[in-house]
Structure 1
Amino acid sequence: MDLNVTDGRRRAVLFAASIAQIMIVLDSTIIVVALPEAQLDLGFSESEKQWAISAYAIAFGALLLAGGRIVEQIGVRASFAVGAIGFALASVLGGLADTLWVLLLARVLQGVFAALLGPANLSMVATTFVEPKLRARAFAVFGSTAGAGAALGLLLGGVLTEYLGWRWCLFVNVVFAVICLLMTSSAPGRAKREEGQRPTDVLGLALGSLALFFLVFGVSEVSENDWTHTRVIVPLAASVVCIGLFLLRLMRAKEPIVPPILFKQSLRMIAYTAVALVGFAQMASSLYLSYFLQGTLNMTALATGVSLIPLVVGLVVAAVLSMRILMVRIGPRFTIALGLLVQSAAFTVLIGLRPTWSYSPWILLGVTLLGLGIGLMMAPAVSTATDQVPAGFSGVASSLTNTAQQVGGAIGVAAATSFASMRFETYLAQPNQQVVSPPWPEWAQAYAYGDGFTALAIMYGAAALLLAINACTRPRSTAHITKVEATQRANSAHNYGVQQ
């Protein structure tokens, strides 16, 4: 069966899922480009501006476990439809906002429906594409869109803000949602399980959601306060307590909200970690690059978005390469390790950021390498995280994957912001008297971003080494399976009922 030619219905599902994933991820960054104009229009302060970003991240992160459970209860297609329609309506509300509070309400509602749409979206791909060759192709496409969403948000945000105004950064989601709904008539419905419907562990769900809420809220506050501030310490401490209670509940509950089977495979845990690292790298690097290109090199929002196109191109190429060739030949561990290594190389190139640089050649090289590295990681990690998951657990497995990316991204923004701010203050206090032009603050900012990229290069290089060592000490695991296993997986597709 050929995904690109003979299976139009599957292709439609994949296209809808990819568009939905782009919509979810780009809304974390598209608002960054729109905010300066929105701030002038609605008249809110600099300190209030951060909440337009945080409101979405907090609601999205906190409710992902609940979203995954709802997918299992009412089915993939119904969840996808509710999530897409709700997200579109929330976007319309935000686009029509005449006060900050209406905009914040819309951003919260976007996060609520994204928490349902995300798990439904990934579960739809995982349960539609079971046969190994089709799965590899599908996740090459889906993984590239999941990884490219942040960069596409900056690009699309620049175009829309430049030509139509900031409100269209929200209205555009209506177009995405309509396309998604028109293409999902063949999506699977509720998964059928022989033992009946799995009961919901309400206490475990509440503890997990509270843990995510306090974690994302705490790290979101770091951009306005340092790590020792009460508004950071208290929610992070509460998150630690809730995580402890959540883990205790998982061990004691008869039907835990997150089935232990999802944590028994070390490879799946590596995949979740890889997704989190992609989220971290995406948001941290996007933050540094967009601030440097706009603030230091004085690029427009549109030019900044265009400058990140090589990242998207590199990501798509690497995603296809990883799923079609590398996963089969060297296995997921080595493939993900290679992605970490390439990202470390990208960060190494960007260590030397200077206000005298132009975009080419070094920023262009760094951005391209970054896209290749993310592409080598994201598609294999998302595919591995949802591979061979029992039918009734597809929703929660997908929600864990989305949670990993969301939490990784939130921590990436917090860590990158606080670290660069700290290094900037240090450099600013020790000016180089020999520097005349550009002014010293621009040099201090560039040096601060360079130090941030140094930390990222060391972090991802070390992670690549550890994962490569792990891969060398165990039998190779690849995307290739035997014909018997392929038949078993194909037969498992019959467990998915398509509800009308």
Structure 2
Amino acid sequence: MKSDSVPNRWLALLVLSLAQLTVILDSTIVNIALPTAQRDLAFSDSNRQWIVTGYALAFGSLLLLGGRLCDLYGRKRLFVIGMIGFAATSALGGAASGFTLLLIARIAQGGFAAALAPAALSMVSVTFAGNAAERGRAFGVFGAVSGAGGALGLLLGGVLTQNLSWRWCLYVNVVIAVLAVAGAWLFLRDRARPPRTRLDLAGTVLALLGLFGLVYGLGNAATAGWTALVTLGPVTLGVLLLLAFVLFERRVTHPLLPLPVVLDRDRGASYLTIGISGTGGFAVFLFVTYYLADTLKFTPVQSGLAFLPMVVLIMGGAIVSGAALLPRVGPRPVVTAGSLLAATGMALLTGLDAGSTYTSGVLPALLIIGLGLGMIFGPGQNAATTGVSPGETGVASAMANITQQVGGSIGLAVFSSLGATATTRYLTAHAATAADPATLAQATFAGYHLVFWIAAALFLAAALLAAGLYRPGPLATRPDTEPALTP
């Protein structure tokens, strides 16, 4: 059944985009609220990082399982369960009276998000199957939300924390969830599931523990350093478990992750470029935010507003490239050009110094990066879910979310560590004037510039991967052989 025969499909896309926005927002909105929440609930700096890490651990490690459950038990069903659970745990976190309850709520949020995110992306894929032009527009909108959600979280977090309370950074999810669940019952139509197979329990355990170890170790790297046992131990164990998972999946009858899903050239290229974009994006959101707050003395709300032009360009780039370019030329030139634009914008940010202004130093780079990210996320998510069999759209969608999530964890760990190292190295080399404010400022910029150059190199690598891996021409439109849509 083709997408143009699906009733209310654009309203369905609005519902699915709301859910995706909720998941992406939560990766940054809580960061803005954390200092205020810490003062209110009186927990330590060492505990503060766990409010972010707890969510990331549950989300990242359970995504593959969540995607498989979508395939086995129904995408719409997992969407509704994930949305209701996410809202309930958000309300619990907003009402928390202490650190422990807030941490439990954040971990539970991540668990429900691991069901919600692949359900939403796979529902976009099955709702807009068969019509390449409509599919391109739909993934353009969805990709715009994915790319812009982090920046919107910074703005919304600043507004809510400054004008209401940090608790509303969690309560706002309840408001969005009410709309999304009502819309799901009214407008979402799932495709009938293929005959249910057994869940690959051994593969599930290996994947869960492997992803947990990887995300946990990377989270520790930002604070403990790369050589610390709490970093190297979990990362090494996580990589070994994931290698064991891949070997096991080659032999099992009903694998948790059918390897052809990731070995396809177009999907493999999409997972890699989405992951690199998730890594590089942290250089923008984290270090540009530092620059706005510390050098330009922007308030949280002003910092959030400063990212709005980038958000507009992400949305514009994703929608235009998905609707006008992707159906004609395919993902290879679009994602390659988007990666080159993002690399150019990152290189421009290396010119920031104490005398730069927002309009001359920051804004031009943000506009170029925003356009580039839009051209990566929309077409990339489209290609990541194209051509999979009816029973594998959930796990293919989960892989797209995993690469973005793990990429973000890598970005946070690597850039925080390298930026701090570059700053320390500069101060050591200028020890005689290390206490001088001008020297301290230059040391800070040394860290910023190194991070932006590395991010530019990453996006350049993404461009080379996209040019080399994507097949030439438009995405092949697989004949629509999926079972009919069901309420």
Q: Write the mapping of 1:325-336 to structure 2, written as runs, cut at 5 A.
A: 325-336=324-335
How do 1:53-452 residues align onto structure 2 when only pairs under 5 Å count? 53-130=52-129, 131-185=131-185, 186-189=187-190, 191-193=192-194, 196-431=195-430, 439-452=438-451
The 2-side partners of 1:364 and 1:82 are apart by 40
Structure 1 counterpart of 2:474, from 471, 478, 500: 478
For the residue of structure 2 that corresponds to 1:252, the secondary structure is: coil
Task: Please give the alpha-carbon distance, in whole angstroms, between the structure 2 residues aligned to 1:124 and 1:468.
Answer: 28
Return the letter of the residue paired with 1:265: D
Q: CA deviation at 1:284?
A: 2.7
State the Cα distance separating 1:8 from its structure 2 match: 6.3
Aligned counterparts of 1:303 and 1:231: Cα–Cα separation in 2 = 37
TM-score for the superposition, normalised by structure 2 = 0.95
Structure 2 letter corresponding to 1:160: L
Provide the C-alpha distance between the structure 2 equivalents of 1:259 and 1:228, rounded to a whole number of angstroms.
34
Matched AA of 1:223: A
Structure 1 distance, partners of 2:272, 2:218, is 18
Distance in 1 of aligned mates of 2:316 and 2:191: 34
Distance in 2 separating the partners of 1:436 and 1:247: 52
**Is residue 141–residue 318 contact of structure 2 (8 Å, CA) maintained in 1?**
yes
Equivalents in 2 of 1:435, 1:357: separation in Å?
Answer: 22
Instruction: Read off the aligned partner of 1:146 and give its amino acid letter.
Output: S
Flag the 1:190–1:468 CA change in 2: closer, same or farther, 3 A.
closer
- What code does the residue aligned with 1:498 have? T
Q: After alignment, is 312-321 or 322-331 more displaced?
A: 322-331
Contact between 2:38 and 2:48, CA under 8 Å: does it hold in 1?
Answer: yes
Partner of 2:27: 28
SS in 2 for 1:353: coil
Secondary structure class of the residue paired with 2:355: coil
1:459 equivalenced with 2:453 (yes/no): no
- Same amino acid, percent of matched pairs: 37
How far residue 188 of structure 1 moved from its aligned partner, in angstroms, is: 2.8
Measure how far apart 1:469 and its partner are.
Answer: 4.7
1:240-270, Cα deviation, whole Å (9 max, x unpaired): 2201210111111111111133134211100
Question: How many pairs align?
Answer: 485
1:498 equivalent in alignment to 2:480: no
**Are 1:39 and 2:35 counterparts?**
no
Letter in 1 for 2:92: L
Residue type at the aligned position of 1:147: G
Tell me the distance in 2 between the aligned counterparts of 1:467 and 1:197. 35
Counterparts in 2 of 1:357 and 1:438: CA distance versus 1, 3 Å: farther
Taking only aligned residues, the RMSD between alpha carbons, in angstroms, comes to: 2.2
Q: Return closer, same or farther for 1:439/1:145 CA change in 2, 3 Å cut-off.
A: same
Q: In structure 2, how many angstroms separate the alpha carbons of the residues matched to 1:229 and 1:101?
A: 26
Quick check: 1:276–1:407 contact (8 Å CA) kept in 2?
Answer: yes
Give structure 1 stretches of 5+ with no counterpart. Answer: none
CA contact (8 A) 2:134 2:323 kept: no
Note if contact 1:353-1:447 (Cα within 8 Å) is conserved in structure 2.
no
Q: Letter of the aligned partner of 2:52 in structure 1?
A: I
Aligned mates of 2:429, 2:12 — CA distance in 1: 56
Query: Alpha-carbon deviations, 1:405-427, whole Å to 9, x = none?
Result: 11111111111111111111111
SS in structure 2 at match of 1:223: helix
Query: After the TM superposition, which parts of structure 1 deviate over 6 Å for at least 4 consecutive aligned residues?
Result: 1-4, 432-437
CA distance in 1: counterparts of 2:372 and 2:196, whole angstroms: 40
Shift of 1:205: 1.0
AA at the equivalent of 1:59: A
**Contiguous gaps of at least 5 residues in structure 2:** none
- 1:354–1:447 contact (8 Å) kept in structure 2: no
Secondary structure of the structure 1 residue equivalent to 2:184: coil
Match of 1:197, SS state, is: coil
For residues 272-298 of structure 1, the C-alpha deviation after alignment (integer angstroms, 9 at most, x for no partner) is: 111111211222321111111112221
Amino acid of the residue matched to residue 486 of structure 2? V
